[in-house]
Structure 1
Amino acid sequence: MSDGPRNLECYYTGEIENGLNCSWTPRHNHTNAATYTLKISWRNRKPPKNESFTHITSTFYTIPRKCLYISENATIWVETVDQRNRICQRTKSITLIPQEAERPDTPSNIQHRRMSGKLLLTWDASEKLQYELRYRQAGTANWHSVNFRPSETLQELEQLAAYEFQMRCKYISKISFWSLWSNIYNVPPELTDVPLIQTLVTKLLQEPGKRIVTIKWENPATAINATVSGYNITIERILANQNNIIELFKTVNKEHTFILSQAPFKFRVAAYNSASSSPANEIVISAFNQMSLNNKINATPQGNDSILISWHSDMNKRTKGYIVDWGPVYGNETRIECSKKIKRGRQTYTLKGNFEPKQRYRIMLHKKTIKWKILNNTEITVGVVDVYTLEGTPRSGPNNIMVTNISKTTAMIRWDQIPEDECQGFLQGYKIFCYVSEASVSNTSRAISVNSSITSYMLPGLLQKTVYTIQISGFTKTGEGTRSEAVSFTTKEFDDGELQNIAVIVSIAIIGFVLLVSWSCLFLVRRIKKMFWPSIPNPGNSHAIQIIRRGSSLPHLENELLNLKSNSHLTETEEELESLHTIEEVTSALTDYGLQENEQNNIASQEPRSDLNDKPPVVQVTDYTTMEHFRQIMPAIRGSNTVIQTNRSETECNNQQSDSLILSYMKQQVHQTSIQRAEDNPLGILVT
């Protein structure tokens, strides 16, 4: 029936004596309650013979050798039996000769590798077997089958795609079954890009001659991180004209740290997975020149073809030997041209080769503490030295000569060191040539020598406001080299601070002179004014007037004067106030003068007093009172002093008359002044 057991196969592996193995696939609705019966029929025998193997609970059974006729055709089938021993289903029968039903073992130990779109497979192959490979792209259902030989490769695969494959085999020279398919092998995408190595981190250790090197990297953007299983790090100790020492490290991290000597090394980093390995990214770290080790080794030239080096040998048991590297130095880089391994216990060695004269060579000596094939933390640099087989003079002078901080008598000179490639020997110092002018360059009267480590110098003793020319050259033990290009400069006439001080002094002198001239002019103007326009003294401030004022009471006059000022409709100016003061002074003088005259008349004539209602005679008074009026009234004031004391009643009467006279005069003068100002300024414009 269609839903019964199927895919029946019978075969043997190895030897037929082990029996005939039969296997099949159960039906879809198989239950544990059902059992199987395996039947075999020998129809060619007379009479035909049948064998049955009942109560089989699995889908695999081995027919014993004693039940087989290995050279005769046999028909085999399997039946399903229920609990009532009734036959339910049976498989299709197969016919075979047992001794020809051999099935080889499934291919084993299969290794796969991808590279450049190709799949390379290796396994335990046999020349007696024929192999079949089937593969498909991961995630698809269709298999592609090809006959595959051990020397062949599967080509035209997509590099960034994952694949699956299986393999089986059968015998070539005889009739046999195909072996069972192997397990499915997964092939991840191919790694096509190199890891991205970051800048190396190098740091010297406290122990001289060692440095710690940390190398870091990242996967490229095109790589699939899930397919990277780890990284292969290859470190090489570079040995010129010899085979490099190589050591391999594996890591799953993206960085690795090494402790190395100061010799040159090379690193390679490649990512790998179960099927492929990416191309390796390579980086080289050059030799590091720690010149503080130059006292650990001595070098003596012996002509142009050999150099003898010597050092203090370390007899420590951990010392396995030495490695010496040497080569020419160009700029700051050492080009290692030769390397040599030296056995432990040696203290000298002669380097052989063609050494160019006037060329600097660097020799590095390293000590090996562990066997040669191990590189990490097994080598120490014990000495570095530079040597010339024949020294020369510098081919050029310093560059970038600059003259700064120029003053009247000094100047600072700065320059760059002569490159090592131009020295042609060990530079011992510099010579500075200073000339007054370019016309006297041939003169060598002044040359200053400084140490080779100095690149600046302060020139003293220069002349102010003078043109100087500078040239600098280097010298070795062989002699002086080529001089640099001439550089000219001019010293200052005044220093910066000095010129400022002079400017300050001159400014102060000018300001003082201006002030002196101004004061002199002011004094001269005052003298001229005093000579041609003398000031008129104020009679009101005289001693005589003060005495008269103490004897006269004019409070009501002052009040009326204040009321008169406040009731004035014109704006008071300084000239009006001066006029009022003048009027007050004149009025006071006139009053005193009237009093004096009345008293004299009373004393001289002894006449009876006149009626108080009689008005005193009015004296004509102008705006300005001269000194002549005061000369006339002063003697009368002195003589009447005693009379005023005896005739106080008469004086009081006279005072009242004088007060009325002064008040009338002041009103008249204010009225005339107002009229005059109105005529002078008809538009009412205030003039100051």
Structure 2
Amino acid sequence: MHFLHKPLPYFIFGVLFEYFTTLSSPVTCRCKNISSRYGHCVTSQDGVRELVCFVPLGLSMIAWECVWTPRKHTVYQTHRYTLIIEQKNSCKMYANISGTSQTISLSKKLNMTAHVFDESDPKSCTKSFFRGSPKKLVRCGPPSNVHFNRHSRQLDIQASWRKEENKYIALYSVRYKNLTSESWKEPPVQSKDNNRCTLGNLNSSLSYAVQIQCVANYKCTQCPWSKSFTVPPELNDKPVIEMVEDFPQTKGSRLVIIKWKFAASELVEGYSVTVGKASGEDPIETFNTSRSLLRLALSHSAYHLTITALNRAGTSPTAQRTIPPLDDKVLYGKLNVTFNGNTSFTVSWVDDLIKTYSCFSVEWWRRGEKAAYKSFYEDENNYEVIQLNEPLEQYKRYTFTLHTRPDKEPCNLKFINNSESTYGSVQAFFTEGSPISAPGNISTNVSQSSVVLKWTAVPEEDNRGFLLGYVLHYTDRLQDGTDAETNITVDAASTSYELVDLKNSTVYRVQLSAFTSAGMGVRSSAAYFETKPASLTVSSVIAGAIVGVTLLLLVVYLGSQLLKRAKKLLWPSIPNPGNSNAIQKIDGVCDLELLELINRQKEEEGDSNSLHVVDGREEMSPVSNLHSNADSCLHFNTDYEESQGPSLSTIATDSRAQDPTSDTITSIPTDIRQTDPVLISTVAHQCQPLAFLSDYTTMELFQQAMPQCVPDTTSSSLSSLEPQGQSSQSEDTY
């Protein structure tokens, strides 16, 4: 086309020229020659096929057209088709057609027959055949607009045709298949009307291919299938709103950043975000974006937000969020509200706003309720009287906010993003009252002289005014019936207080009440607590411990000294007699005298059979012998002497009595001499050296207990008493 960049008249002329050139291109032919020339061509499913001729509805039987489908396996880049149209005795041939369609001319009163031949392959020629009446060749083409929406395993289809076709189409059919399937599901589904059709029992996670055709009627005799539409899987999940964050800007505006995510993001082609004021003021603006992030410049008013994921199959469920109004602490302007009764109020401002703005909007609402709004034009005063459709309620808190708009009249909201800013906000009661409920859940933490009280605040709806604070009523006079109590005022922002300087071991009663500018509210139920008894402080406990430890150490020290002194008095230290010089001398003298006695006896008599009495000593030291069982030995000797008669010492005494000047024993009775050695030996073996029960003894007692050394004269006297022929070599051991 050479007129695409030319003015419109040239373009239209070019189209008409090409059209009529195409119509004049056919060559007249004879019907008899068709069979002789193309008799070798055959009909094949692999060759050219599906030839059909028609005229679109509304073109007044002028623009006839024939179309066909080429062979399946094409090995040639250049196609050569020949189309022949027969009507009664006329024949027209369109040769060397490279495409798959051809515009033709027909007489609308005569039936027609069409042949198409494919001569691309010199070795094989294929053909297709079509026959019909021009009056029944009117076609209503595929729909010009199709909309899909998948939800709940269903597919809703909305289809529309061109204006001239749409009024003749009453119904249409839909066929579908799984995108990976080869065959269509049969039978096709027919619509309920000319606009809407629903396919049910689908797999929500699969993609489908869909084709649409109108239902043929007397006006639309031909209804071909449309091209195949690909319908993606169903979007079942809601978008998840991750963040809605405010960033206050200057002059009462804020930047709101909204961020979200979608689970099956690969199926999403975009998102639709709608934003509107919570008061309901128009408009509700829609933002389409391919990202999961949106930035908006908004006023401090409240907004409703919805987010929906989109694809060709439709939309996902909607995620919703309310953007709350921003705190009035960041606003720059001071706003005042005066009530003119319960059906009117006056809003005024301090700054001279009319120099910059002439359009304003005021919003007012109660907590938890939808805001009301009123926009107005003001260019003279710094106030506006607002008339209400519904009266204001008593004891209810209202919030009033004033917005400014840069656009001139009309002062309605033009759009959402960057359209207005907030000047100021104020809260007010039309009529205040005293609280109708008391603080609750009073708890105590008691010590000896104080208590920490905690409570929950009065609910907002029960304050009926601006809460100014709390009053604590407490007393310890519970029995005398007096009304003496102490009242303490606590700030409204506090929910705890510590009472100090209380008496220990005392029961107290406490009550709480809230108050507003209208007066004191009701009291809470009485709470009782008892302070703890007096107890030692930490410092006194530490001082007592130090004194106790000091006394304990002193007692231990003095006690040890007293024990040492008592031991010296009651149990003196006993020296070891064995280590004394006296004992050493006694042992040495006795041993020498005994040895001299034995040797002298042997020299004088030379008889080894004589009996000698020798005091034997054990090898142990005299001290250890002395501490043996001496008492039992003494008692044993005494008893033995009493039972056996006169002892040897008695006989010696008697002898001395006869001769007082003699130091030796001159005669001993025969019976005594015979038994005496046995007696002495027995005593020597049975009696151990003396041992004293007391830990203390004197040297004098020790010397008395020790056996005396026998003088030489005595030894010789005793030796003369021994019988001849007896051995004296037996030795007693102590």
TM superposition score normalised by structure 2: 0.61
Which amino acid is the alignment partner of residue 325 of structure 1? E
Structure 2: distance between partners of 1:351 and 1:245: 23
Structure 1: distance between partners of 2:332 and 2:107: 91
1:494 is aligned to 535
Change over 3 Å in CA distance of 1:437–1:669 after alignment to 2: farther
1:187 is aligned to 231
For 1:332-351, list aligned pairs within 5 A. Answer: 334-345=368-379, 346-350=382-386
Query: Aligned pair 1:110/2:125, yes or no?
Result: no
Change over 3 Å in CA distance of 1:179–1:480 after alignment to 2: closer
Which of 381, 387, 390 pairs up with 2:431? 390
Which of 119, 131, 140 pairs up with 2:181? 140
2:461 is aligned to 421
For 1:522-561, list aligned pairs within 5 A. Answer: 525=566, 529=569
2:248 is aligned to 205
Post-superposition CA distance 1:535-580 (Å, at most 9, x none): 9xxxxxxxxxxxxxxxxxxxxxxxxxxxxxxxxxxxxxx8564653
Which amino acid is the alignment partner of residue 448 of structure 1? I
Structure 2: distance between partners of 1:166 and 1:576: 133
For 1:109-258, list aligned pairs within 5 A. Answer: 109-116=144-151, 117=154, 118-124=156-162, 125-128=165-168, 133-137=173-177, 138-143=179-184, 144=186, 145=188, 150-156=194-200, 158=202, 160=204, 161-168=206-213, 172-173=217-218, 178=222, 181-198=225-242, 200-205=243-248, 207=250, 209-219=252-262, 225-239=265-279, 243-258=281-296
Which amino acid is the alignment partner of residue 579 of structure 2? L
Post-superposition CA distance 1:35-64 (Å, at most 9, x none): 555545555xxxx5555555556554445x
1:601 is aligned to none
Matched-pair contact (CA < 8 Å) for 1:103–1:170 = no
Matched-pair contact (CA < 8 Å) for 1:436–1:468 = yes
Change over 3 Å in CA distance of 1:83–1:325 after alignment to 2: closer
TM superposition score normalised by structure 1: 0.65
Query: Aligned pair 1:675/2:709, yes or no?
Result: no
2:725 is aligned to none
Structure 2: distance between partners of 1:92 and 1:668: 155
Matched-pair contact (CA < 8 Å) for 1:312–1:347 = no
Query: Aligned pair 1:324/2:324, yes or no?
Result: no
Q: Report how far residue 290 of structure 1 moved.
A: 3.7
Q: Report how far residue 586 of structure 1 moved.
A: 11
Which amino acid is the alignment partner of residue 580 of structure 1? N
Secondary structure in 1 aligned to 2:545? helix
1:654 is aligned to none
Structure 1: distance between partners of 2:496 and 2:112: 109
Q: Report how far residue 270 of structure 1 moved.
A: 1.6
Q: Report how far residue 248 of structure 1 moved.
A: 0.8
Matched-pair contact (CA < 8 Å) for 2:453–2:498 = yes
Query: Aligned pair 1:311/2:349, yes or no?
Result: yes
Structure 2: distance between partners of 1:671 and 1:93: 155
Change over 3 Å in CA distance of 1:439–1:396 after alignment to 2: farther
Q: Report how far residue 158 of structure 1 moved.
A: 1.7
**Structure 2 unaligned spans of 5+:** 1-41, 587-592, 594-616, 631-686, 696-734
Q: Report how far residue 416 of structure 1 moved.
A: 4.2
Change over 3 Å in CA distance of 1:276–1:170 after alignment to 2: closer
Which of 474, 489, 514 pairs up with 1:449? 489
Change over 3 Å in CA distance of 1:76–1:268 after alignment to 2: closer
Query: Aligned pair 1:580/2:579, yes or no?
Result: yes
1:624 is aligned to none
2:401 is aligned to 364
Change over 3 Å in CA distance of 1:501–1:492 after alignment to 2: farther
Change over 3 Å in CA distance of 1:92–1:466 after alignment to 2: closer
Which amino acid is the alignment partner of residue 437 of structure 1? R
Change over 3 Å in CA distance of 1:159–1:427 after alignment to 2: same
Structure 1: distance between partners of 2:472 and 2:119: 118
Between stretches 320-329 and 7-16, larger displacement belongs to 7-16
Change over 3 Å in CA distance of 1:487–1:72 after alignment to 2: same
For 1:618-633, list aligned pairs within 5 A. Answer: none
1:652 is aligned to none
Structure 1: distance between partners of 2:198 and 2:173: 9
Structure 2: distance between partners of 1:182 and 1:214: 44
Post-superposition CA distance 1:237-275 (Å, at most 9, x none): 111xx5554111112233434443443221112222113
Post-superposition CA distance 1:387-439 (Å, at most 9, x none): 2233333334433444446344x554444444433333333333333322323
Change over 3 Å in CA distance of 1:212–1:494 after alignment to 2: farther
Q: Report how far residue 229 of structure 1 moved.
A: 1.6
Q: Report how far residue 153 of structure 1 moved.
A: 1.8
2:472 is aligned to 432
1:471 is aligned to 511
Q: Report how far residue 135 of structure 1 moved.
A: 1.6
Secondary structure in 1 aligned to 2:315? coil
Structure 1: distance between partners of 2:167 and 2:227: 22
Change over 3 Å in CA distance of 1:445–1:119 after alignment to 2: closer
Change over 3 Å in CA distance of 1:162–1:395 after alignment to 2: same
Matched-pair contact (CA < 8 Å) for 2:342–2:393 = yes
Structure 1: distance between partners of 2:472 and 2:426: 30
Structure 1: distance between partners of 2:81 and 2:174: 33
Which amino acid is the alignment partner of residue 364 of structure 1? T
Secondary structure in 2 aligned to 1:439? coil
Post-superposition CA distance 1:47-103 (Å, at most 9, x none): x5555555556554445x5xx65534455435567999xx97574655555x53744
For 1:33-112, list aligned pairs within 5 A. Answer: 37-41=82-86, 43=88, 48=89, 50=91, 52=93, 54=95, 60-63=101-104, 65=105, 71-78=109-116, 89=125, 91=127, 94-96=130-132, 99-100=134-135, 102-104=137-139, 106-112=141-147
Q: Report how far residue 232 of structure 1 moved.
A: 1.3
Secondary structure in 2 aligned to 1:140? coil
1:265 is aligned to 303
Structure 1: distance between partners of 2:74 and 2:397: 91
2:600 is aligned to none
Q: Report how far residue 24 of structure 1 moved.
A: 4.5
CA RMSD of aligned residues (A): 4.7
Change over 3 Å in CA distance of 1:75–1:267 after alignment to 2: closer
Which amino acid is the alignment partner of residue 115 of structure 2? W
Change over 3 Å in CA distance of 1:517–1:469 after alignment to 2: farther
Secondary structure in 2 aligned to 1:438? coil
Which amino acid is the alignment partner of residue 516 of structure 2? T
Q: Report how far residue 136 of structure 1 moved.
A: 1.8
Q: Report how far residue 458 of structure 1 moved.
A: 4.5
Q: Report how far residue 379 of structure 1 moved.
A: 3.9
Structure 1: distance between partners of 2:120 and 2:532: 125
Structure 2: distance between partners of 1:474 and 1:17: 91
Change over 3 Å in CA distance of 1:225–1:471 after alignment to 2: closer
Matched-pair contact (CA < 8 Å) for 2:160–2:166 = no
Question: Percent identity at matched positions?
Answer: 24
2:655 is aligned to none
Which amino acid is the alignment partner of residue 672 of structure 1? P
Q: Report how far residue 307 of structure 1 moved.
A: 4.0
